[in-house]
A = this chain, B = another copy of it.
Amino acid sequence: MIKKFFKSVIPETTLRRMVYYTRCLNSFKNEGVKLIQSEDIAKKCGVKSSVVRKDLSYFGEFGVRGKGYHVESLLSTINGITNTFGKMNAALIGVGKLGSAIIKHSTENFNVKIIAAFDKDRKKVNKEIGETKVYPIEEIESIIKKYKIKIAIIAIPPSDVQKIVDILVNAGIKAILSLALIPLNVPDDVEVSFVDVLSEVEFLFYKLSLRRNI
* A interface list, Cβ under 8 A from B: 6-7, 10, 12, 15-16, 18-20, 23-24, 27, 44-46, 82, 84-86, 88, 90, 96-98, 100-102, 104-106, 108-112, 150-151, 153, 174-175, 177, 179, 181-183, 191-210, 212-214
Which residues of B are found within 8 Å of A174, using beta-carbon distances? 208
Which residues of B are found within 8 Å of A205, using beta-carbon distances? 85, 88, 111-112, 151, 175
Which residues of B are found within 8 Å of A23, using beta-carbon distances? 181-183, 199
Complex Cα distance, B27 from A212, in Å, reads 30
A6, B210: Cβ atoms under 8 Å?
yes
Complex Cα distance, B174 from A203, in Å, reads 13
B19, A214: Cβ atoms under 8 Å?
no
Complex Cα distance, B157 from A108, in Å, reads 13
**Copies per assembly:** 2
Which residues of B are found within 8 Å of A6, using beta-carbon distances? 210, 213-214
Which residues of B are found within 8 Å of A109, using beta-carbon distances? 198, 201-202
Report the minimal beta-carbon distance from A71 to chain B, rounded to whole angstroms.
Answer: 14
Which residues of B are found within 8 Å of A153, using beta-carbon distances? 197, 201
Report the minimal beta-carbon distance from A95 to chain B, rounded to whole angstroms.
Answer: 11
Which residues of B are found within 8 Å of A191, using beta-carbon distances? 204, 207-208
Complex Cα distance, B104 from A84, in Å, reads 41
Report the minimal beta-carbon distance from A160 to chain B, rounded to whole angstroms.
Answer: 15
A6-B213, A175-B204, A191-B207 given; A101·B96 CB < 8 A: yes
User: Which of A10, A96, A213 is most buried by chain B, counting CB atoms within 10 A of its CB?
Assistant: A213
Complex Cα distance, B21 from A199, in Å, reads 11
Complex Cα distance, B72 from A4, in Å, reads 49
A151, B101: Cβ atoms under 8 Å?
no
